């Protein structure tokens, strides 16, 4: 038979069987995130954070040495300095991706810390002053470092704190960062907050009207005053409520008779057109 006369049949494939036999490709995706050390957010102060890191380093070194060569006792300055450099190095690796430090002359020192080349590099000062450590502005460790320095300087202000930190560190946007840290200080907020102001009431009519001197009078006593003969005396203060003039009379006791005599002396000198608005003493 010729090919044209051959029977034709439609074949319907079984896609489930085909897919089960199909070679599968496996794709592996890894998501890497850089996180802060766990105790960065749990430790309350930078000093405690440094000491914890120093103790961890000592334990790590002692674990690799023999028992006779292990170091004990309190932490020394070298261990604390190494712990601080390690913490700051971790902060730099987490925050600086290369874009934030383009406008600054930076270099890596022997400890792997990023430092700033300043204009005073030829001075004979400490290397930390001539080449301060570059630090970010937004980091929990930097906030704790600034707050610890703030408390150490007896709650100093922004300018003093910034000058002190510049001796060792170069914090980006330091003024803004220091201001934000100081705002969280409860003691500074208590002393810098505005006191409660009460709107004063208007003066009464007798104190603002046109009047003669000592026409409206307030009376008070002050003392005692001690004389040379070891006796006491008191001063009767007659104050003009309109012009604030003061008239003083002396009395030797707080009796009613002594006050009446002082009042008569005042009236004989200032006139009897008086209006008393206040008498503080019961006599």
Nearest to 34 by CA among 110, 108, 95, 123: 95
Which range has the worst mean pLDDT, 14-23, 49-58, 240-249, 255-264? 14-23
Q: Where is the domain boundary, 191, 223, 256?
A: 191
Would 157 be classed as within a structural domain? yes
Would 57 be classed as within a structural domain? no
Which range has the worst mean pLDDT, 35-49, 80-94, 182-196, 217-231? 35-49
Q: How many CB atoms lie within 10 A of CB 160?
A: 15
Residues 237 and 180 in one domain: no
Per-residue pLDDT reduced to its tens digit, 168-185: 999 998 999 999 999 989
What's the pTM?
Answer: 0.58
At 147 the pLDDT is: 93
Look at the alpha carbons of 101, 104, 107, 113 in this order and tell me if their dihedral is positive or negative.
negative
Instruction: Indicate which CATH number applies to the domain containing 262.
Output: 3.30.420.10
Would 11 be classed as within a structural domain? no
Would 135 be classed as within a structural domain? yes
The average confidence (pLDDT) of the chain is 83
At 202 the pLDDT is: 87
């Amino acid at each position: 038979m010729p090919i044209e006369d051959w029977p034709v049949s439609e074949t319907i494939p079984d896609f489930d069987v085909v897919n089960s036999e199909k070679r599968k490709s496996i794709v592996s995706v890894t998501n890497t995130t850089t996180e802060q050390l766990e105790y960065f957010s749990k430790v309350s102060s930078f000093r405690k954070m440094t000491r914890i890191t120093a103790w961890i380093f000592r334990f790590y070194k002692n674990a690799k040495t023999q028992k006779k060569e292990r170091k004990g006792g309190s932490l020394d300055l070298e261990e604390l300095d190494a712990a601080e450099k390690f913490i700051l190095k971790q902060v730099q690796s987490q925050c600086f991706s290369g874009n934030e430090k383009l406008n600054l002359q930076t270099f890596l020192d022997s400890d792997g810390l990023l430092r700033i080349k300043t204009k005073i590099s030829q001075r004979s000062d400490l290397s930390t002053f001539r080449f301060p450590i570059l630090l970010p502005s937004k980091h929990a460790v930097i906030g704790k470092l600034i707050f610890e320095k703030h408390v150490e300087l007896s709650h100093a202000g922004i300018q003093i704190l910034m000058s002190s930190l510049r001796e060792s560190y170069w914090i980006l946007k330091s003024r803004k960062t220091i201001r934000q840290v100081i705002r969280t200080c409860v003691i500074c907020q208590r002393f810098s907050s505005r006191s409660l102001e009460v709107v004063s009431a208007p003066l009464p009519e007798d104190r603002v009207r046109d009047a003669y001197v000592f026409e409206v009078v307030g009376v008070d006593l002050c003392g005692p005053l001690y004389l040379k003969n070891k006796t006491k005396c008191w001063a009767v203060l007659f104050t003009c409520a309109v012009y604030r003039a003061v008239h003083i009379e002396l009395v030797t006791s707080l009796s009613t008779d002594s006050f009446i005599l002082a009042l008569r002396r005042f009236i004989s000198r200032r006139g009897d057109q008086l209006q008393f608005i206040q008498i503080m003493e019961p006599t």
